[in-house]
Structure 1
């Protein structure tokens, strides 16, 4: 009886170990440009028989306007950090320890890792899993590949994933034709695409988009790792 119990525990531990190791294996498998990963949310939609709209487009076919806007809205130090913005992370930890409300410190590698391998929702467990995944992904993938994957798995509405589907759904154009204003609206809707509709923005969303549009126009030095 004890032998059977130990065998079951051993199998359970091996299964847990496999689940922990699998994302790191997938990071390596996702490195080639011909591989088009899907996110855990897309898998959820498939399991629930909802379906989804995602049309993969290579990095060079995504408007530079969108790349600039997303970077300046989500992760201005994308080109300089190693997957985690430790300065921002330290500030958030200090705020949490002091009992203050914290702001987000997720980088694009962290968000990409979460989208591909983890789940939505705020928890320390998920964040603890997210950090090493982001560091490994940033080490294995080029910055351009990272941005390509992120912009092809990001959610921009119910069942709307990736820049191409978002551009066509919200503005009736391809991802390569997005204007600065359209790109800024998509960028500022990313934190909550269910309440922030890029195609039908309210005054608050338009105001935020104006800020990001101005930042994107001055982002030359920030995006050198993607276009040099």
Structure 2
């Protein structure tokens, strides 16, 4: 099952052509370069995608490996796997669920599509590409007839105000719209809904290791 969508997006006053499609082995060098552009130092280089991880993505769950290109250049990507998660046991760490990004934990019969990573090249972050990548995941959830999309949203704005409020208070303000968070606010704008706050989700100083688990329920699932 392959995914391909061609369209135009408004960017800097003009319409830019984009192609949303599955990434393949031929894209690995560009995928790694994209990670370097999205997560520059002091973000550790060893946490960028490596070729072994990308190989696992395209071999284990190619449907969940999606990228955006424009004029032949890769400018965004999103990666997912299928997992089984129940509402009474949702607390988890990113590295456990995603197998540190290798997705060897992929369950072909899982009841949810779990977002491993999403990144947009910094030069194109005002083109709305993240929403189109998330829409591709929603399309996939419907096609596979699984219950929902799940994923932990980092809270990189929290670190700056952690001495003033708890993580729960911070999220309450972000959801109310009185504070803006670079990740959580974006995910809310794509239709993702808050599920629960997770402590010790990922080693992430900016988020104080917190994440907000968020979902999008498949409206067609019975």
Scaled by the length of structure 1, what TM-score is found? Answer: 0.28
**Larger relative contact order, structure 1 or 2 (CA cutoff 8 Å, min sep 6):** 1
| Higher relative helix content | 1
Structure with larger Rg? 1
| Higher relative strand content | 2
